[in-house]
Amino acid sequence: QVQLVESGGGLVQPGGSLRLSCKASGSIFSINTMGWYRQAPGKQRELVAAITSGGYTNYADSVKGRFTLSRDNAKNTVYLQMDSLKPEDTAVYYCKADVVTTSSVQFPYWGQGTQVTVSS
């Protein structure tokens, strides 16, 4: 059993900042890629940013230069620093982790989602 617990969402004004955290726990042997996705009302879930265990990052074009993704492998935690937020960043943000369990099975796990609202 693996759990992902997200924190850090909330309401912020345009131009403001938020930092999301996601910690994985449970029957974890290792974690490959970790990342964040988001889903706005009426839209499909989309990739925001992802990071490999070696630190290689990939960002959606819409957040490049504004969002920074990092991870602490020792803590099984990934962080998303979001700066210069725009109203169009409003969405539910979901953490995803590709976990290799202690049973040697790789499976994608999702967090429960955290709401980010950018509004004046």
> Consecutive sets of 10 residues in the chain, 120 residues long: mean pLDDT of each?
95 98 96 97 97 96 98 96 98 97 92 97
Q: What is the pLDDT of residue 104?
A: 87
Q: How far is it, in rounded angstroms, from Cα 80 to Cα 21?
A: 7
Q: What is the pLDDT of residue 38?
A: 98
Q: What is the pLDDT of residue 60?
A: 98
Q: How far is it, in rounded angstroms, from Cα 44 to Cα 17?
A: 24
Q: How far is it, in rounded angstroms, from Cα 33 to Cα 22?
A: 13
Q: What is the pLDDT of residue 79?
A: 98
Please tell me whether residue 8 adopts helix, strand or coil conformation. Answer: coil
